[in-house]
Amino acid sequence: MNSMRAVGEGDTGYRIRSKPMRDIPPRLRPREQFDLMGAENVPDQTLLALILRIGVPGVNVADLADQILKKYGSLTSLAQASAGELVEIDGIGPVKAQILKAALELGRRLSLEAVPENHKVSSPEDVLMVLRERARLAEEELFWVLLLDTKNRMKRPPLEITKGTLNSSLAHPREVFKEAIRSSCASIVLAHNHPSGDPTPSPEDIRITRQLVEAGKIVEIHVLDHIILGRKRADERLDYLSLRETGMVQFAD
């Protein structure tokens, strides 16, 4: 009975077999859907099925892909799963886990390539273009500094300063401004993520930001903003928060 799988959500105790792929109408098979509709128009389930290639006894590859997506709820959650976690799914062995992780990682790297090296940062949305993909899969807090020239163009890729819960010892002005001084930056933008998905700033976030703004005045490098990245939720319009926009901190002009 190990080859039997529930089709659909939940576990009611009533289990049925998937139809063999040969019994599914051609227009509903992953390869035929891909050829007919094109990669950009097929659902996530179809793309995942093409990556997996084959199902397991009693579960065709389309249903296997559907069950995996339902288990994780989103592609983001699926991408956060380790290869070790993926192989615990019936039908996902070590090789398929590697292939799946590789495909998702290629998608992430493609998104990073879309941002030019000298990307101009004129708004919180510009910061999001640079960091959203870096933050999306992070399971711990990461703190970045964007180093800008006199025209607000990035002088180098985002500088990751720390990993771990943001506090004054991790985000010390010495570490934040060391590379900015070395690179002769005119200004910087601070950013960090909240793995919980809620970008609401903590009292410590605000305190550290004020400390770094004051330190920037001393070394004559303007701190323009501090962006907190969360994750898009149905009940929230934005997946980030700009401390400058909120008025909680007074930043350089």
Q: Could you read off the pLDDT of 116-172 as tens digits, one per residue?
A: 677 999 999 999 989 988 887 788 899 999 999 999 999 988 999 887 766 655 678
Q: 152 with 108: CB under 8 angstroms?
A: no
- Are 201 and 241 in contact by the 8 Å Cβ rule? The answer is yes
CA atoms within 13 A on the CB side of 215: 19
Beta strands (DSSP E) in 125-221 are 142-148, 159-163, 187-193
Q: Give the other-Cβ count within 10 Å of 225's Cβ.
A: 23
Nearest to 45 by CA among 68, 16, 22, 79: 68
Fold matches, 21-112 and 117-246: no
Q: In 3-state terms, what secondary structure has residue 231? A: coil
pLDDT of residue 10: 47
CATH number of 21-112: 1.10.150.20
Decide: pTM greater than 0.85: no
**Tell me, what's the pLDDT at 203?**
93
Residue 163 tokens, joined? 């990993």
pLDDT, mean of residues 200-215: 94
List the domain boundaries for the chain: 21-112, 117-246
pLDDT (0 to 100) of residue 143: 93
CATH number of 117-246: 3.40.140.10
Q: Which of 16-25, 173-182, 204-213 has the lowest mean pLDDT?
A: 16-25
Q: Model confidence over 9-18: pLDDT tens digits?
A: 444 454 556 6
| pLDDT surpasses 90 at 252 | no
Q: Measure the CA–CA gap between 70 and 78, rounded to whole angstroms.
A: 10
The pLDDT of residue 8: 42
